[in-house]
Amino acid sequence: MDFSPFIKRYEDELVGQVIPFWEQHGVDHEYGGYFTSLDRDGSVYDTEKYMWMQWRIVYMFATLYTTPWLKPYRKEAWLDIARQGFDFLTAHGKDADGAYYFALNRKGDPTIAPYNIFSNCFAAMGAAALYKATGEQRYRDEADSAMKCYIRRMDDPKGRWDKSMPARASRLSHGHYMMLANLGCVMEDCLNTDEYRDDAAAAINAVLEKFWNPHYRVLFENVNPDGSYDLDSCEGRFVNPGHGLESMWFVMNYAERENRPDLIAKAADIVKAQLEFGKDPEYGGIFYFMDVLHKPHLELQWDMKLWWVHNEAILATLFAYRLTGQTDFLNLFMDLDQWTWGHFKDPSYPEWFAYLNRRGEPTHMLKGGKWKTMFHLPRCLLIAVEQMKKMP
């Protein structure tokens, strides 16, 4: 298989379309930080600064700056963009306990409390990537601080902002563990430390032993604290195919580093299972949310097709194909590549659409918002090129 045409297409899209779009439209030169609510043409339609999205941009620009194959295209401006975001977010973005707020207004005043620990997750990633790019101690200190806050809050992620009453069932969330698995690898790469290796290993074990169900062949999003499954509630039956696929390339990335072929084989099998369960046999693409027993889903957008789900599916199949050599994964990648590029890429403006209906038609013209920023798409393009260049 000659991946050269794919490499060129992915590389051109990243360097020629996606990075320039966010360079031009995403930076708030007046107050600091970034605009993420961008319309189809890049114009700003809201100035709220959501912390996940802010730190993800820090992470991406710092990572782009240090990526070896991007050296011919590298700009000092990429590092400057990441630095100014870090300065804005650390000055305004966290409370006295080190927890990052969920959102700020344009000037940096907090607007939504730090009820969600993923703000700290992406702060750790962004700060760590800046340390790798510069070697400056302040970035390493912030990465460690945010990482420790994330781990500390996993047992009670919402803390005093939890609206649940005592009668509500307690759950473990797959998302918390899959992100910890990835964070361990990011910290090791960027900080050159094995301090979080045990945390990553425990997270990997939890994902594969608690959330993966070999009987139903799905990764559950929510399980009971003892690892059992609740099939009597929508929350207990909830399946997020995109999360499962993202989680599995995290696992394969970890397993390759640790020389664990057993984990690679298991993760690859789960990739195949998630795609079999999550695909839309009528219109193509992957469903957003599903119910393990195919009962009605509480979320009305369950049958939509989202950009990030397909970005993560592309990476999962590339990792699985490279590490196992099984042609099934090459065929899955080829199908995903064709459907994803054929439906999400905007033919008239840079960057991709985010939200499609079940038939694959855009429901929103926006290129960024509360949940979409410079992250899943550029990360997919970046890592896909790296994976394809490693192919035999």
Task: Report pLDDT digits (tens) over 368-390.
Answer: 999 999 999 999 999 999 999 99
Beta bridge partners of 44: 38
168 vs 234: CA distance, rounded Å: 13
Token pair, residue 193, equals 């430390």
The reported pLDDT for the residue numbered 309 is 98
Supply angle C-alpha 250, 380, 392, rounded to 5: 80
Give the E-state strand segments of 142-283 in sequence order: 172-173, 212-213, 218-219, 222-223, 238-239
Of 179, 183, 199, nearest to 127 by C-alpha is 183
The reported pLDDT for the residue numbered 299 is 93
SS3 93: coil
| CA-based radius of gyration for the chain | 20
SS3 215: coil
Token pair, residue 46, equals 């809201």
Give pLDDT tens digits for 210-235.
999 999 999 999 999 999 999 999 99
Which parts of the chain have pLDDT scores under 70? none
Give the E-state strand segments of 151-205 in sequence order: 172-173
DSSP 81: H
Give pLDDT tens digits for 76-108.
999 999 999 999 999 999 999 999 999 999 999
Token pair, residue 130, equals 């800046």
Return the number of other C-beta atoms located less than 10 Å from residue 82's C-beta.
26
Supply angle C-alpha 157, 374, 385, rounded to 5: 110
Of 380, 204, 224, 359, nearest to 307 by C-alpha is 380
One-letter amino acid for residue 9 of the chain:
R
**pTM of the predicted protein model:** 0.97
* Pairing, β 218-219 against β 222-223: unpaired
The reported pLDDT for the residue numbered 392 is 83
The reported pLDDT for the residue numbered 63 is 98
The reported pLDDT for the residue numbered 198 is 96
Residue ranges and CATH numbers for the domains of the chain are: 1-19+26-168 (1.50.10.10), 172-361 (1.50.10.10)
